Amino acid sequence: MIGRLNHVAIAVRDIGKAAKIYRDVLGADVSAPVPQPDHGVTTVFIALPNTKIELLEPLGKESPIAKFLERNPDGGLHHLCYEVSDIGAARDALRAAGMRVLGDGEPKTGAHGKPVLFLHPKDFAGTLVELEQA
Ligand code: CO
């Protein structure tokens, strides 16, 4: 079912500081910060040869990553995003296998403009999983 690792997302308190480390110390190709008010985050994408890193900084009071940063004040690994060819079919198969899909189960438009869903971390080895339609 799952295809390529689309990105690894890291939640941070200071996206400028984190982006600078990836750009200036690690020498990576780093995007400008993009506010995503619909998602309650500001994102920076870092292009690596085989995948991307997504830096997430809270945006607004209702940010979905605010609680994560309370528990992880230094920031940390937030989710992994895997590509699937048919997100509706993937959701149905996962539900049939007893896996929990977060929210109402309807794919939302993610940070790349493609349909995404999130899966419960307790069902996936303690890791929040995002599925993105490739
Ligand atoms: Co993501």
Ligand 1 center–CA 80 separation, angstroms: 7
Query: What is the pLDDT at residue 111?
Result: 80
The CATH number that domain 2-133 falls under is 3.10.180.10
Q: How confident is the model at residue 108 (pLDDT cuts 50, 70, 90)?
A: very high
Residue 78 and residue 10: Cα distance in Å, rounded?
5
Residue 26 and residue 42: Cα distance in Å, rounded?
21
Residue 132 and residue 110: Cα distance in Å, rounded?
8
Q: Contacts by 63-66 with C-beta closer than 8 Å and gap 24+?
A: 64/39, 64/40, 65/11, 65/40, 65/41
Q: How many CA atoms lie within 13 A of 63 on its CB side?
A: 21
Residue 61 pLDDT > 90? no
Query: What is the pLDDT at residue 120?
Result: 97
- Residue 52 token pair: 């991307």
- From the list 80, 5, 18, 67, the residue with the least C-alpha distance to 44 is 18
Ligand 1 center–CA 128 separation, angstroms: 10
Residue 46 pLDDT > 90? yes
Residue 28 and residue 47: Cα distance in Å, rounded?
7
Q: What is the mean pLDDT of residues 85-113?
A: 94
Locate the domains of the chain by residue range: 2-133
Residues noted as catalytic: 130
Query: What is the pLDDT at residue 17?
Result: 97
Decide if 51 contacts 74 (C-beta within 8 A): no
Ligand 1 center–CA 6 separation, angstroms: 8
Which stretch of 39-43, 46-50, 60-64, 102-106 has the lowest confidence by average pLDDT? 60-64
| pTM, full prediction | 0.93
Query: What is the pLDDT at residue 7?
Result: 97
Ligand 1 center–CA 62 separation, angstroms: 17
Residue 93 pLDDT > 90? yes
